[in-house]
Amino acid sequence: MVVALKPGGMTYWITVPSPIVGIDLGTTHSLVARFTGGRVEYLPNDLGETLTPSAVAYDEGSRKLVTGRIAKDIAATRPELAALAFKRDMGTDRKYNVGPHALSAVELSAYVLDALRTDAERALGETVTRAVVTVPAYFDEGQRAATKQAAELAGLVVERMINEPTAAALAYGLAQKNEECRYLVLDLGGGTFDVSVVELFEGMFAVKGVAGESRLGGEDFTQALLVLLLTRVGVDAEAAAAVPKAHALATKRAELLKRKLSRWPRAEVKVPPFEGLCPETSLDVTAEEADAVYRPLLDRMRGPCREALRGAGLLPENLDAVVVVGGATRLACVRDLARDAFGREPYCDPEPDYVIAKGAAIQAALIAEDDAVKDVVLTDVASHTLGVEVTRTVAGQNLSGYFSPILHRNTVIPSSRVDHFWPLTAEQRTIRFGVYEGEARKVADNRLVGELEVRGIPLEGDRTVAVRFTYDLNGLLEVEATVLQTGAVVSAVYQRKEGKMAGAELERAKARLSQLKADPSHRPRYRDLLSRANLLWRDLDGTLQETLAREIDRFDGAMAHRNPAEIEQVFAELNELCRRLDEGERY
């Protein structure tokens, strides 16, 4: 934004950075927020509501696409004109028929994001083009690419994509930023389930482990109740789906029943008439009956809970708190599962639908260098393993299709790792590396990111090929292969499965990644120690402050020299000094 100042009759033009908003693009509801004046402000839509249904529909009256509550209302009576819960299909080729239109999940999400952007501009009175957008922690590269593309279609520059449970961890931990604790965030939204383990110390949020499912959420609990209702009235679920209007109305009533049973032990519901199948019927349903049909879904939640703890190297008793967020955590059975799995009463935010957007807004404030969060530092981890396809010799046979990880899941990012590979035969001069993402031993069960071909491998001497993966906070992956004997280098940059970059864009991306590899200060443990030392320095005075300042300067100097041995020595000395100062020791 450009503004003019006229002091003394003179005109000066200055550029004021445009605001960065935080957006929770949810399966069921979406919302936009801004951190200002030390607090989070939720920006209302044109109906005065802060929660906007993630729905798109074709309005036959106006002959145009509409979003939000109007679209959700159309979906309840004319399902053939509307699309709901399309977030689950991000990154796929599925098309939704919305009246005369066939739209992808990317296009549908872009409509929702455009509505949120417009709402933000109305509320703030200025143009909004920059945003932090949340995604489920277990979204893969293709799904994240689709989310970024949807935002761009809506006229937004994505300053950062942040994992939803990480956003929730920021929202919860900001009030405890002066404490040290380990806590687990269980995030069950409308369509996705994520678990993150976070360590908080001296204003630093370090994500230690993530796990989850991208197709498990409140919508599944609604569907389980719907099947229960249909079974009670003797209607097969597949046959019911063939009657779209009745099916849509029955789904809406199952959703209302789910909400009632989260507060009361029993509730009455009317199942609409299904033509030729059953008349309208009133049913009395108990919370116990609902819990019985929820049980398979709850069992699916236990695995990611264990995986997140295992990734962080912790046991349930090592946690100081368990935080549950997301609209679906209003279900008593979900809170009971958290209590049973972790042996403690979970913290339930009074407004679970708002926590993710709150964290996104805080992340936006961090990017904007807001003074209110200047002491906050956030580190995140890779949600999936990245590696290459290799051939292995098994029982005397060469078998291809094995996955060789290079960057493991739960690695702190940004990160750069290298591994070494060799040709399979004496006469082989070319290796084609398939780059994959996933957790399976065989690449057939993982996701292909791209391919990289290395030629000119010498036939004699050192035939090693070093493959380096460099991964940044926004999911930019560079794969670089070096033939050690000749020094020949082949590389490719992948951005969320959108294919290889080219031209000036590729060179800019490589420049950013080369800084990450070359600059030791980008290594997480070095960056974390510097942040910790600088925070300590602010709280000291006199001789202690001077002592710490000298050691910080020594560390800065060591990193400027880029001598690994010197860096490690000074790192150890500064780390020990910080420990002693933390524990109140004096010199």
C-alpha–C-alpha distance, residues 549 and 141, integer Å: 42
To the nearest 10°, the Cα dihedral for 233, 239, 244, 250?
Answer: 20
Residue that has been written with the tokens 């609902």 in this structure: 290
User: What is the end-to-end Cα distance of the chain in Å, rounded?
Assistant: 52
> Nearest CA to 356 among 172, 183, 191, 214?
172
Single pTM value for the model: 0.68
What's the burial of 141, exposed, middle or buried (CB within 10 Å: 0-12/13-18/19+)?
Answer: buried
Helices 542-561 and 564-582, packing angle to 10 deg: 160
Query: What is the CATH number assigned to the segment(s) 386-512?
Result: 2.60.34.10
CATH 3.30.420.40, applies to 20-216+298-381? yes
C-alpha–C-alpha distance, residues 25 and 185, integer Å: 18
C-alpha–C-alpha distance, residues 562 and 172, integer Å: 38
CB 256 within 8 A of CB 229: no
C-alpha–C-alpha distance, residues 254 and 221, integer Å: 9
How big is the CA angle at 44 (ends 40 and 45), to the nearest 5 degrees?
150
C-alpha–C-alpha distance, residues 555 and 539, integer Å: 20
Question: Would you kindly state where each structural domain of the chain is located, as residue ranges?
Answer: 20-216+298-381, 386-512, 522-582
Letter for the amino acid at 428?
Q
Q: Do domains 20-216+298-381 and 386-512 have the same CATH topology?
A: no
* pLDDT tens, N- to C-terminus, the chain (587 residues): 544 555 555 555 555 567 999 999 999 999 999 998 889 999 998 888 999 999 999 988 778 888 998 888 888 889 999 999 999 899 888 999 999 989 999 999 999 999 999 999 999 999 999 999 999 887 877 788 889 989 988 889 999 998 888 888 888 876 665 578 888 999 998 888 989 898 887 667 788 888 888 789 999 999 999 999 999 999 998 899 899 989 988 998 999 899 899 889 999 999 999 988 899 899 999 999 999 999 999 999 999 999 889 888 899 999 999 999 888 888 999 999 999 999 999 988 888 899 999 999 999 998 888 877 776 666 677 778 899 999 987 667 788 899 999 988 878 777 889 999 999 889 999 999 999 988 888 899 888 888 999 999 999 999 999 999 988 766 678 899 999 999 999 988 875 444 344 456 445 545 544 544 455 544 546 755 776 777 677 666 678 877 888 888 888 788 777 777 788 888 889 888 888 876 665 44
H helix runs in 138-268, sequence order: 141-153, 164-173, 218-232, 237-241, 244-261
How big is the CA angle at 459 (ends 458 and 465), to the nearest 5 degrees?
45
Which two structure tokens, joined as six digits, stand for 363? 């992340």
- Size of the chain in residues: 587
